[in-house]
Amino acid sequence: MYWQQALECMPREDLEQLQLERLQATLYRLGTHVPFYRRKLREARVNYEAVTSLAALRGLPFTTKEDLHGNYPYGLFAVPLRDVVRIHSTSGGAGMTTVVGYTRNDIKNWSDLVARILRGAGVTAEDVVQIAYDYGIFTGGLGLHYGAERLGASVIPISSGNIKRQIRIMRDFKTTALVCTPSHALKIADVMMDMGLNSNELSLRYGVFGAEPWSEAMRREIGERLGIVATDNYGLAEIMGPGVAGECRECNGLHINEDHFLVEVLHPETLEPVAAGEIGELVITTLTKEAFPIIRYRTRDLARLLPEPCPCGRTLSRMSRILGRSDDMLIIRGVNVFPAQIEAVLADINGTGSPYLIIVDRENHEDKLTVMVEVTELLFSDQIRKQSALADTIQDRLVTDLGIQVQVKLVEEKTLETIDSKGQKVIDNRRL
């Protein structure tokens, strides 16, 4: 049930010593190789060569998404591109893209950390693992693929799309572990039902799900409908991708790979640590990354630490599932979407730039994004053809920029305030 037992079950004292040594090395790397951090550390009056305890973390400056955008594309890389063997990005489209790089050694560590998560979920070298994440610049597909191969499992890189084919392959190839977003797993269950297929006709045993928020109710439903044990795993491209934290078979919180990541839980406004076990924002420092080390990254993900030791024997702390965000980012079909991206597209197109409302629904376990846009009375009373041309233009731009399907509806001026009197920009109707 362990992949790297000595590390996953290390006495806390040894773990903290290892963390300190790795923090020192990371600070040295950043201070000497990344001008942005050299400046930031100087401004924060941190003598990175004199850090002698983990408590020094509290005095280090934060890194935000804006910092990453300000250094787009390669400004925060700590090695020359010659040493970078892979480049990924956060999910989500233009305007908000963050570029991250990996050295050969980073890929090796990443594979081991993902292997830990798969092993913790029950998967072994005997398993046939079907990966239904998008394979591409998103970290989900390749990240889990390398981890599953490292574990020695037989990997089916099915990717996303064509669910009937995914199901047929799952049945014929006797897939034992399914890896995808939790909503995709439910979609698979729906389509199986349409195909008249029962989970008994499959060989599935494990489901390893992440990349989007889900709930205990969804875990139960997936478990019942697919006949599997469903575990949660968490990660983000800025830190590594999948592999940051994952559940063991206790299904009660995600073990953080603390020998590679230092996680703080801070109040999102005061940025002070919350009391033990309280909800706060996860702020993460990488400890072993070579190409793209990062300190005190404000993830904007809300969770809490679970203080009790886990019966599985791992000494790595556990965190709750992700309980929300401290910003307005939405995750739609596993893709990160910011209202500001939509606003920027609208501002760019003539005839709009006026009030809009983003509506997110989940129908048949699939997220649907609708953007309602007010247009002037003049345009509204104009020919239908002109209207639908404008709707198409907006839709095309949004699909290109966000990287997901969007429906655009034009409405008359003042319609939106009747739908939503509170002037919110987003109505999220999804019930997880």
The site for ligand DLL (CB under 6 A) is made up of: 90-91, 133, 138-140, 210-213, 232-237, 241-242, 299, 301, 321-322, 331, 336
Considering beta carbons, is residue 301 or 374 the nearer one to ligand DLL? 301
C-beta separation of 299 from 282 below 8 A: yes
Considering beta carbons, is residue 391 or 426 the nearer one to ligand DLL? 426
- CA–CA dist 85, 106 (Å, integer): 9
Tokens representing residue 232 in the block: 């949660």
Q: Which residues, including other chains, have CB under 8 Å from residue 6's CB and lie 6 or more apart?
A: none
Closest separation between CB of residue 150 and ligand DLL, Å?
Answer: 16
Q: Are strands 335-337 and 356-363 parallel, antiparallel or unpaired?
A: unpaired
Q: Which residues, including other chains, have CB under 8 Å from residue 389's CB and lie 6 or more apart?
A: none
Closest separation between CB of residue 212 and ligand DLL, Å?
Answer: 5
Helix, strand, or coil (residue 89): strand
Q: Are strands 177-180 and 206-210 parallel, antiparallel or unpaired?
A: parallel
Helix, strand, or coil (residue 178): strand
Considering beta carbons, is residue 197 or 329 the nearer one to ligand DLL? 329
Considering beta carbons, is residue 246 or 355 the nearer one to ligand DLL? 246
Closest separation between CB of residue 215 and ligand DLL, Å?
Answer: 10
Closest separation between CB of residue 65 and ligand DLL, Å?
Answer: 10
Could you count the other beta carbons within 10 Å of the beta carbon of residue 279? 15
Closest separation between CB of residue 265 and ligand DLL, Å?
Answer: 14
Closest separation between CB of residue 90 and ligand DLL, Å?
Answer: 4
Considering beta carbons, is residue 190 or 327 the nearer one to ligand DLL? 327
Helix, strand, or coil (residue 63): strand
Considering beta carbons, is residue 254 or 410 the nearer one to ligand DLL? 254
Considering beta carbons, is residue 329 or 349 the nearer one to ligand DLL? 329
Give CA 141 to chain center in angstroms. 12
C-beta separation of 167 from 195 below 8 A: yes
Closest separation between CB of residue 399 and ligand DLL, Å?
Answer: 18
Q: Which residues, including other chains, have CB under 8 Å from residue 167's CB and lie 6 or more apart?
A: 188, 191, 192, 195, 197
Considering beta carbons, is residue 365 or 373 the nearer one to ligand DLL? 365
Helix, strand, or coil (residue 171): helix
From the list 103, 146, 147, the residue with the least C-alpha distance to 286 is 103
C-beta separation of 343 from 40 below 8 A: no
Alpha helices in 362-420 (DSSP H): 377-381, 384-402, 415-419
Residue whose CB is nearest to ligand DLL in the complex, by number: 210
Residue 323 DSSP class: -
Conformational region of residue 224, where left means phi above 0, alpha means psi within -120 to 50, and beta covers everything else: alpha
Closest separation between CB of residue 71 and ligand DLL, Å?
Answer: 17
Considering beta carbons, is residue 112 or 232 the nearer one to ligand DLL? 232
C-alpha neighbours within 13 Å on the C-beta side of residue 240: 33
Closest separation between CB of residue 195 and ligand DLL, Å?
Answer: 26
Helix, strand, or coil (residue 190): helix
- CA–CA dist 382, 374 (Å, integer): 14
Closest separation between CB of residue 240 and ligand DLL, Å?
Answer: 8
Closest separation between CB of residue 180 and ligand DLL, Å?
Answer: 9
Site of tokens 């020192």: 24
Considering beta carbons, is residue 210 or 293 the nearer one to ligand DLL? 210
Considering beta carbons, is residue 325 or 409 the nearer one to ligand DLL? 325
Residue 217 DSSP class: H
